[in-house]
Chains A and B, each alone.
Chain A
Amino acid sequence: MADVVFERVSKIYPGGSGVPAVNDLSLSVADGEFMVLVGPSGCGKTTALRMVAGLEEITDGTIAIGGTVMNNVLPKDRDIAMVFQNYALYPQMSVAQNMGFALKIRGVAKSEIAQRVQEAARILRLEEYLDRRPKALSGGQRQRVAMGRAIVREPQAFLMDEPLSNLDAQLRVEMRTEIARIQRLLGVATVYVTHDQTEAMTMGDRVAVLRGGLLQQVDTPQDLYDFPANEFVAGFIGSPPMNLIIANLDDDQGVLRARFGDQSLLVPERYRQTHGLAQWIGRQVVLGFRPEDLMADSINSEDLIKARVDLREALGSEILAYLAITSNTDVVLDALPATDAETVRKRSRVVARLSARADVVEGGLITLSLKTDNLHFFDPAGGTSLRAPTS
C-alpha cells in the first residue's frame, strides 16, 4: 500500500486545441485515503485518473505512487487496479477467471489465485456466481465483479472511474456504501472519479473539485460544503446548490448591510474580520447562502428576504421553493464576471428548502428569514471567497 502524489501535473492532448485537459495539478492522496475527484464533464478528472493508471501520457509534472515516480513506468508495472465505468469484464471468461486474470498473467500459482479469488468473492458476496459469465449477471453483480478484479490484485492503489454511473438509482446507493465499506476494510489509497456530488460527499475522506482542468479546492466533504473556496465550488457542492446573488455592501452607521434591489440584510459584524469586508464597503460582492438557511418561520425584522415563488417542488419531507427576489431590477448585471444569460438569470433566483408544512403558493409572494450564521461572500470579479484563509 502506498500514497499517490500529483506534482504539478499537466496534460495537453496532441493534435487538440492546446488547452490543457489537466492544468498544473498538485494533489496528494495519503495511504489508505479515499480521494474523490469531482467536477462537471470535461473538467479533467478522468484524464487525471488515467494518467495515474498510465493510460495517458503526462505532458508535464510527475505522478508518484509509493514514492516512485511513475511517468515512464508501464501500466502493468505500476501495481494499481482500476475499476471502469462499464466494468470492462472479459465476456469470454467466468467471474472467477475475470477476477484471477491479472494474477494468472503475473504467474501466480493456481492455488493462490483460487484462494485470493475466493477471499475476494467472500468479501463481495459473489461466491455463488464464480462460475457464471458476466452476461449472466445483473448490473450490480457485474459491478462487484469489477471490484473483485481490483481487490484480488492487492494493489498499491485503487483507481475508480465513475463505477456507479451505469447503475439505477437504488443500486447506486447500495453500491456506494458497499464500495466505501470495502475500501475502508482494505485500507488502500483510492482515487475515485465521479460527476455526482452526492457520491463525492458520502464516500470520500477528502474531495477534490476540478473545473476546466484546474483544481478548485480539495478538502473534507463537510469543509467543502461549509467553506467553499470559490463560487464554482459553492455552486457545485450541495443539492440544491448554494444561492448566489449580487449585493452592495454598505456601512449604515457602523452596521454592515448587504443591499440587493430594494431589500437589505443585516450582516453580522464578525464577517468584517473573517472576510475582510471593510475594504468591500460601497462595492459589489456575491452573497451566498444555502437553501436550508432560508426559513419560513422564526422571522425577525432584520434578516428578511421578500420573493415571488416561481416553482414549488414538494418532496414529502420538505418543499423546495424556487424564488425570484422581488425588485431586483437595479442589480448591475453588467458587473457580473460570467456574461452568459443562464448565469445572469440564476443570480436573481434563489432556492429555499422549507419545511413540508410551509405555506408556499406558486406565483404568490413570500417573506423568508435568512439565518446569517453561514453567509458566504465572493469576489464578483474572480469568484474567489473573501474568507481569509486562516479564519
Chain B
Amino acid sequence: MSTTLITRSMSVAPSRPKLTPRQVRRRVGRGVLLFVMILVAGVMLYPFVVMLVTSFKTESQYLIGHGSSLQSWKDLNQTLPIGQELLNSTIICSASIFIVLVVGGCAGFAFAKLQFRGSNFVFLTVVSAMMVPLQAILMPEFVNMAKLGFTTSYFGAVIVYAALGTPFSIFLFTTYFRRIPDELIEAGIVDGLGYTGVLTRLIMPMALPAIATVTVLQFIQIWDDLLVGLLFLQNPSQRPITVGLAALAAGRTTSIPELLAGSLVSALPAMLVYLGFQRFLIQGLTMGIDR
C-alpha cells in the first residue's frame, strides 16, 4: 500500500496550490491598487518631466517639439541672480524654521508637561491661530512691520513666517510630548537636570520625527510662498527665488523653456527636503494613531 503511494507521488508533478476565493480577491485588489497608484504617480510626476525636458530646449526647439540645448539655463542665469535668490530663500527658510522649532519646542514642552493655570485655554487660543488665513492678517502685519522698519531686511519676512508657522509647530510638539511619560522627565530631574536640560538633552533628541515634520512642512510652505516675499522684502537684493521667478514671468522673458528652468530650480529644493525627511515625516504625521 505504502509502496503504491510513494510511486504515485513521485510520478505526478507537484501542482501549484489552488488559490482560495479570498486570496484571489486580495490579489486582484492589490493589482487594482497598484495600477491606481501608478496612475496617480504619473499624473503627479508628469509636470516635472515636462519641466525638466522643456528646460533643456531653446524656444524654437520647444515650438518644433524636438532637440535639446542648455541655452535656457544660460539665459536664466543672465536674467536672474539665481544664486543670490536661492541663498536668500535658504536664509529666510532656515531662520524662520529655527524660530518655529525653538518656540514650538519650548511651548510644546510647557503645554504638555508643565502645569500652570489656564494652560489649556492658552493652548487652544494659540492653536486656533492655525485657522486664520495669511491673507486675513497680511495688511495689518505689513503696516506693523513697515512701521518697525523691518521690511528692508530679512527680519520682517522671517518674523512673519515664524509667526505663521509657530501655532502648527506648538500643536505638533505638544501632541508629541504628551506621549512621553512624565517619569522620564522626573528621572532627568532626579539625575540632576533642570527643565531646560530636560528639554534640550532628553526630550528634543527624542522628538526627531516631530522636528522633521515641522521642518519639512514649514520648508515647503516658506520656500514656495510668494506673497510674504513680495510684500515684506522690499530690497531686491534680498528677494527669494519665488519672487525672482514671478518677476521673470511678469515680463523679463516670454521664453517658456527659461521659465520652466526657473520653476525647476525653485521646486527642486523643496522636493529634495521632502524626499530626505520622508521617513520621519510619516512618523511625525501618524503619531498618536497607534494608540
- Separation in Å of the A302 CB from the closest CB of chain B? 56
Interface 1/0 per residue, A81-116 and B, CB below 8 Å: 110111010111000000001100110000000000
User: Is the pair B181, A105 in contact by a Cβ cutoff of 8 Å?
Assistant: no
Please tell me the size bucket of the interface on A.
20 to 34
With A88-B181, A92-B205, A92-B206 given, is the CB distance from A105 to B192 under 8 Å? yes
With A86-B181, A88-B181, A90-B202 given, is the CB distance from A55 to B191 under 8 Å? no
User: Is the pair B191, A102 in contact by a Cβ cutoff of 8 Å?
Assistant: yes
With A55-B189, A86-B183 given, is the CB distance from A105 to B206 under 8 Å? no
Q: Which of B163-199 contact A (CB under 8 A)?
A: 181, 183-184, 186-194, 197
- The contact of B183 among A75, A76, A85, by CB within 8 Å, is A85
User: Is the pair A53, B192 in contact by a Cβ cutoff of 8 Å?
Assistant: no
Classify the secondary structure of B's interface with A: helix
- The contact of A76 among B189, B202, B205, by CB within 8 Å, is B189
Once the chains are docked, how many angstroms separate the CA of A88 from the CA of B191? 11
Cβ of A218 under 8 Å from chain B: no
User: Is the pair B190, A76 in contact by a Cβ cutoff of 8 Å?
Assistant: yes
User: Is the pair A88, B192 in contact by a Cβ cutoff of 8 Å?
Assistant: no
Cβ of A80 under 8 Å from chain B: yes
What's the tally of chain B residues with a CB closer than 8 Å to chain A?
16
User: Is the pair A84, B189 in contact by a Cβ cutoff of 8 Å?
Assistant: no
- Separation in Å of the A374 CB from the closest CB of chain B? 42
- The contact of A75 among B181, B184, B189, B205, by CB within 8 Å, is B189
Once the chains are docked, how many angstroms separate the CA of A274 from the CA of B181? 51
Once the chains are docked, how many angstroms separate the CA of A109 from the CA of B281? 39
User: Is the pair A82, B190 in contact by a Cβ cutoff of 8 Å?
Assistant: yes
- Separation in Å of the B205 CB from the closest CB of chain A? 5
**B residues less than 8 Å from A81 (CB atoms):** 190
User: Is the pair B186, A76 in contact by a Cβ cutoff of 8 Å?
Assistant: no
Interface 1/0 per residue, B258-270 and A, CB below 8 Å: 0000000000000
**A residues less than 8 Å from B190 (CB atoms):** 53-55, 75-76, 80-82, 102
Q: How many A-B residue pairs have CB under 8 A?
A: 49
**B residues less than 8 Å from A75 (CB atoms):** 189-190
- The contact of A105 among B183, B186, B191, B205, by CB within 8 Å, is B191
24 A–B contact pairs at CB < 8 A? A54-B190, A55-B186, A55-B189, A76-B189, A76-B190, A76-B193, A76-B194, A80-B190, A82-B186, A82-B190, A84-B186, A84-B187, A88-B183, A88-B187, A90-B184, A90-B187, A90-B202, A92-B205, A92-B206, A101-B191, A102-B192, A105-B193, A105-B197, A106-B192
- Separation in Å of the B229 CB from the closest CB of chain A? 37
Q: Which residue of B lies closest to A81 (CB)?
A: B190
Interface 1/0 per residue, A272-307 and B, CB below 8 Å: 000000000000000000000000000000000000
Q: Which residue of B lies closest to A76 (CB)?
A: B192
Once the chains are docked, how many angstroms separate the CA of A389 from the CA of B129? 67
Once the chains are docked, how many angstroms separate the CA of A55 from the CA of B189? 8
- The contact of B206 among A76, A85, A86, A91, by CB within 8 Å, is A91
Once the chains are docked, how many angstroms separate the CA of A46 from the CA of B190? 15
- Separation in Å of the B150 CB from the closest CB of chain A? 38
Once the chains are docked, how many angstroms separate the CA of A302 from the CA of B20? 76
Once the chains are docked, how many angstroms separate the CA of A92 from the CA of B197? 15
Once the chains are docked, how many angstroms separate the CA of A85 from the CA of B182? 11
Q: Which residue of A lies closest to B191 (CB)?
A: A102
**B residues less than 8 Å from A82 (CB atoms):** 186-187, 190
- Separation in Å of the B271 CB from the closest CB of chain A? 29
User: Is the pair A84, B206 in contact by a Cβ cutoff of 8 Å?
Assistant: no
Q: Which residue of B lies closest to A91 (CB)?
A: B206
Interface 1/0 per residue, B143-160 and A, CB below 8 Å: 000000000000000000
**A residues less than 8 Å from B192 (CB atoms):** 76, 102, 105-106
Q: Which of A149-176 contact B (CB under 8 A)?
A: 149
**B residues less than 8 Å from A53 (CB atoms):** 186, 190
**A residues less than 8 Å from B193 (CB atoms):** 76, 105
Q: Which residue of B lies closest to A53 (CB)?
A: B190
* Given A55-B189, A88-B181, A105-B197; 18 other pairs, CB 8 A cutoff: A53-B190, A54-B189, A75-B190, A81-B190, A82-B187, A84-B183, A86-B183, A88-B184, A88-B186, A88-B187, A90-B184, A90-B187, A92-B206, A101-B191, A102-B191, A105-B191, A105-B193, A149-B187
**B residues less than 8 Å from A102 (CB atoms):** 190-192
**A residues less than 8 Å from B191 (CB atoms):** 76, 101-102, 105, 149
Once the chains are docked, how many angstroms separate the CA of A82 from the CA of B197? 18
- Separation in Å of the A90 CB from the closest CB of chain B? 6
